[in-house]
């Protein structure tokens, strides 16, 4: 009786695999080394407070976009877990939707891609933008949501943020 090449290869492989599995080293533990100048940050997650914010803005027709902002409460770091928004414009296209935050005195922009949805809310063009993510904002810093369009004109945006506040010691 003849064996096929595939049968021989499969049989040889099955005979060798247990030897490789037995030779694999056991996983080792993780060691974290921190001194007093760089301690491991510890937060009482049990004290995190749900956070939700939303606002609507009509764009200035002479500007190429609009923004809405709020300030993170004193003594708390904001952890943003979800951002969503929608915008309607009469002319041009929506080209940017972003969230701006500050952590350790670094102010930066986080882009979220807008998706065209057709006419909406009395506007010639409608867009939505949403994303699950993790962003941080330090206490007493401003969080801004911005939407930019190409030609100005009549436009409006609604933005929402969800996450939680972590009290800092």
Q: What is the pTM of this model?
A: 0.72
Residue range 122-165, pLDDT digits in tens: 999 999 999 999 999 999 999 999 999 999 899 999 999 999 99
Q: Does pLDDT of 38 surpass 80? A: no
- Indicate the DSSP class of residue 38: S
Residue range 148-157, pLDDT digits in tens: 999 989 999 9
Q: What's residue 167's pLDDT?
A: 94
Residue 50 tokens read as 């749900």
Q: What's residue 37's pLDDT?
A: 81
Domains with residue ranges and CATH for the chain: 45-167 (2.60.120.1330)
């Amino acid at each position: 009786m003849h064996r096929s090449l595939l049968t021989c290869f499969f049989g040889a492989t099955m005979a060798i695999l247990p030897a490789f599995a037995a030779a694999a080293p056991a996983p080792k533990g993780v060691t974290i080394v921190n001194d007093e100048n760089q301690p491991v940050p510890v937060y009482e997650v049990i004290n995190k407070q749900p956070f939700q914010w939303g606002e609507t803005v009509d764009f200035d027709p002479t500007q190429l976009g609009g923004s809405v902002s709020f300030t993170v409460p004193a003594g708390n770091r904001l952890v943003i877990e979800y951002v969503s928004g929608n915008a309607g414009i009469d002319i041009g296209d929506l080209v940017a939707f972003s969230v701006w935050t500050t952590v350790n005195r670094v102010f930066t922009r986080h882009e979220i891609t807008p998706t065209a949805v057709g006419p909406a809310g009395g506007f010639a063009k409608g867009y939505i933008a949403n994303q699950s993510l993790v962003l941080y904002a330090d206490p007493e810093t401003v969080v801004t949501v911005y939407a930019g369009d190409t030609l100005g004109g009549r436009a409006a945006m609604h933005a929402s943020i969800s996450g939680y506040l972590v009290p800092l010691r």
